Amino acid sequence: MPRLPLAAPLLAAVIWTTPAAAQSIRLPASVEFFAGHAAFADDAPIEHSVFGGAARIYLTPRISVGPEITYMRGPDDDRDWFFLGNLIFDFRRPRSDRPPRVSPFVIAGAGFFTHSDRVGTGIYTSGEGTFAAGAGTRLHLSDRVYVVGDLRFGWEWHYRITGGIGVSL
């Protein structure tokens, strides 16, 4: 009978540590470069080209965070910069330290937005807090290289569609 009290804590430890070990699979950090199209809401949409880069650091197998810098070039002298901190949730988890081939995700970011445009003979510049959220998909071409596309909506009220390439470090 003395073996049963010793076996119970050992069995409980194995049961609790097995899921924890499976959750410890974490993908390496990555960098992404993207380009696309955006439009800001106004009387008529104000179309912009989008260029940017971001980094991702995994906190868990499916949750990552990281900075993003986005430049948007609109008509004439209309320029916008977004400096965001993003939170990303991947719907599929890695298997055996390998990323899933197709990985849909949702993303939300908050930070700072600057806008500049010509007004009369001078350049007007403003800035304020901003946020953007949306969804996308990553398609892994290999364990280290992937293509990514997403659609986001944000403040100043706009939408953006981007595509890019990412590299795991």
Which domains does the chain show, CATH number per domain?
25-168 (2.40.160.20)
Residue 37, pLDDT > 50, answer: yes
- Residue where the block lists tokens 């004439």: 76
pLDDT confidence of 16, banded at 50, 70, 90? very low
pLDDT of residue 153: 97
- For residue range 42-90, list pLDDT tens digits in order: 888 999 999 999 999 999 999 999 999 999 999 999 999 999 999 999 9
pLDDT of residue 96: 79
Residue 20, pLDDT > 60, answer: no
Residue 36, pLDDT > 80, answer: yes
Start-to-end CA span in the chain (Å): 53
Residue 3, pLDDT > 60, answer: no
pLDDT of residue 21: 46
Q: Count Cβ neighbours within 10 Å for each residue of 116-149 and write b for 16 or more, e otherwise.
A: ebeeeeeeeeeeeebebebebebebeeeeebebe
- For residue range 99-140, list pLDDT tens digits in order: 899 999 999 999 999 999 988 888 889 999 999 999 999 999
Residue 25, pLDDT > 90, answer: no
pLDDT of residue 119: 83
